Structure 1
């Protein structure tokens, strides 16, 4: 019972976590035998003491650790070669020596298979990865989710829902439940999606930033056009992008300083669950340097528009094309 759950799709990850918990027996009893650790802070001795303890009045003990592999994987993807290797071996030995009555779940934002701790545990871990769904995978997920909820949905409605909401499965699951109740016994139609969901500037801007992060030029351009088609001026799209990139930069900075997630959320002022989850997921896929360069380009574009050097719509179109193509953003120096 050694699991690794990794990836930015935290909806599917949380579903798998719940599934594992159910497989371990009575969830009420298990709650009293569950220990949560932050991987960046837990001491090896404390971890070993906990995983070695036998359960009391329950068939098993559950230990969940978030970010333990990340602790041995510094920013930039370079594996620590010095003192941390010995510490990684200590944690690896503790996991291997834990009694079979202890279930251990490691949770990571992403998996680097060259990570020294993963290398020491790969042969005993049951690994589940949860990448962000691509367009075809997203459509398939929507269809299966509607069926699971006891409904049916027209292909055109699937396309529209994927276009409107994007790959945020938390938001999609909520919209699907709302649509299913609205449609009743008939299939969900495009008209239903347009009536109950529709475009929202916030969802569209997340799609745009997602495409920029992943250097997907065509979806980025399509998202920008969708924003403008929905009546939002190019300048507003620019300000929304600036705000989101600023949140990502602040998130990454606070995270690098060792701040806890709850404190980061408070300091960023993100009270809406949807916005918080999206920001955290995007920050996990954006390097600090690339986010900073992108933010500088946004400021330069804003200045060019305000000083009359460039027309607003053309300037924003050019900026999105540059960012989403990744043209020089990884190597361009900040001055």
Structure 2
């Protein structure tokens, strides 16, 4: 049981990962026999000991490794290093010679057939690729998703949803959930999409990001209140802020590697022109250091809310006030 899940469509990839885990038995039992590693830091000896270990009181052992193939690629398919600790053949041998009781899942954001490690594993692993959906496939996906949720949607509504949100399936799935509830049994129309999704909500998220980075406290707090008045929950606002910051960080990183705009837009799945242009603008105006600091702080606030250490609305209010005031970044709660 050896799998390679690769591609920028993180939503579909995570669904496949969950499906594989479900096929391996009881989730509670499997959790006790699961090991997760970062490929960039993984030592060959540690990896081999883990995959060779027989499961105890469980039918199988699960080993998940993220970014192992990327470790051996210089971006053009050539080998980065030749040292023994970074020899792809060592890892390939550990994977192919692992016992049948060990399930191994390799996760990559992208896959090159020229990758040195992939050349060893190509016919030894079950490969599943998850590219970003183009517009025709995205429209089909939306139709199926709405149907699976027990709803119906008009073609015009699908087109508008694609225009507003693009190919970020996490965001699209969230909007579909809201739209199905809002429609309450009738088909979702383009007016529903304009009411609940629209550019207005997206614009306010961008305005909030701008105000935070430009330390315009009054504007930031007013924009946040406006989002609340529109009925957006604190958890939704936090997720949208995190999503936008993540897009801007990814854009800057890809740009620094020399990637062209067309390639970056495809990798990030930004089919919506409005979101693409705002992401470009914010990436040009904000430093990577500040972006990462704020993103890290957002994740801390989100975790504090989800674990019950702080009310989510209070966590969001304090976070925006702190960030927009330009105060030093400190943890929400320890």
TM-score band by shorter chain is 0.5 to 0.7
Partner SS state of residue 64, structure 1: strand
Matched, 1:100 2:95: no
Structure 2: distance between partners of 1:130 and 1:95: 22
Partner of residue 273, structure 2: 223
Partner SS state of residue 145, structure 2: helix
Whether the 8 Å contact between 1:30 and 1:62 is mirrored in structure 2 is yes
CA spacing shift, 1:140–1:222, aligned 2, 3 Å:
closer
Partner of residue 63, structure 1: 63
Structure 2, unaligned stretches of length 5 or more? 207-239, 255-259, 301-334
Residues 220-263 of structure 1: CA distance to partner in whole angstroms, max 9, x if unpaired?
Answer: 99825x99xxxxxxxxx67x524235679669xxxxxxxxxxxx
CA spacing shift, 1:120–1:246, aligned 2, 3 Å:
farther
Residues 131-174 of structure 1: CA distance to partner in whole angstroms, max 9, x if unpaired?
Answer: 11111111111111111111110000000001101111001111
Residues 84-108 of structure 1: CA distance to partner in whole angstroms, max 9, x if unpaired?
Answer: 6972111111011110000000000
Structure 1: distance between partners of 2:181 and 2:283: 33
- Cα drift, residue 78 of structure 1: 3.2
Structure 1: distance between partners of 2:79 and 2:36: 25
CA spacing shift, 1:265–1:52, aligned 2, 3 Å:
farther
Partner of residue 119, structure 2: 119
Matched, 1:243 2:282: yes
Whether the 8 Å contact between 2:156 and 2:190 is mirrored in structure 1 is yes
- Pick aligned residue for 2:261 from 203, 212, 218: 212
Whether the 8 Å contact between 2:77 and 2:114 is mirrored in structure 1 is no
Structure-1-length-normalised TM-score: 0.66
Structure 1: distance between partners of 2:284 and 2:105: 32
Structure 2: distance between partners of 1:116 and 1:222: 36
Structure-2-length-normalised TM-score: 0.66
Query: After the TM superposition, which parts of structure 1 deviate over 4 Å for at least 4 consecutive aligned residues?
Result: 219-222, 245-251, 264-270
Partner of residue 50, structure 2: 50
Q: CA RMSD in A?
A: 3.4
- Residue-pair matches, total: 249
Partner SS state of residue 55, structure 1: coil
Residues 50-72 of structure 1: CA distance to partner in whole angstroms, max 9, x if unpaired?
Answer: 00001111110000000000110
- Cα drift, residue 184 of structure 1: 1.3
Residues 243-291 of structure 1: CA distance to partner in whole angstroms, max 9, x if unpaired?
Answer: 235679669xxxxxxxxxxxx9556446279xxxxxxxxxxxxxxxxxx
- Cα drift, residue 116 of structure 1: 1.2
Partner of residue 271, structure 1: 298
Partner of residue 140, structure 1: 140
Whether the 8 Å contact between 1:85 and 1:116 is mirrored in structure 2 is no
Partner of residue 196, structure 1: 196
Partner of residue 185, structure 1: 185
CA spacing shift, 1:48–1:10, aligned 2, 3 Å:
same
Partner SS state of residue 127, structure 1: strand
Partner of residue 227, structure 2: none
Structure 1, unaligned stretches of length 5 or more? 228-236, 252-263, 274-335
CA spacing shift, 1:130–1:265, aligned 2, 3 Å:
farther
Partner of residue 6, structure 1: 6
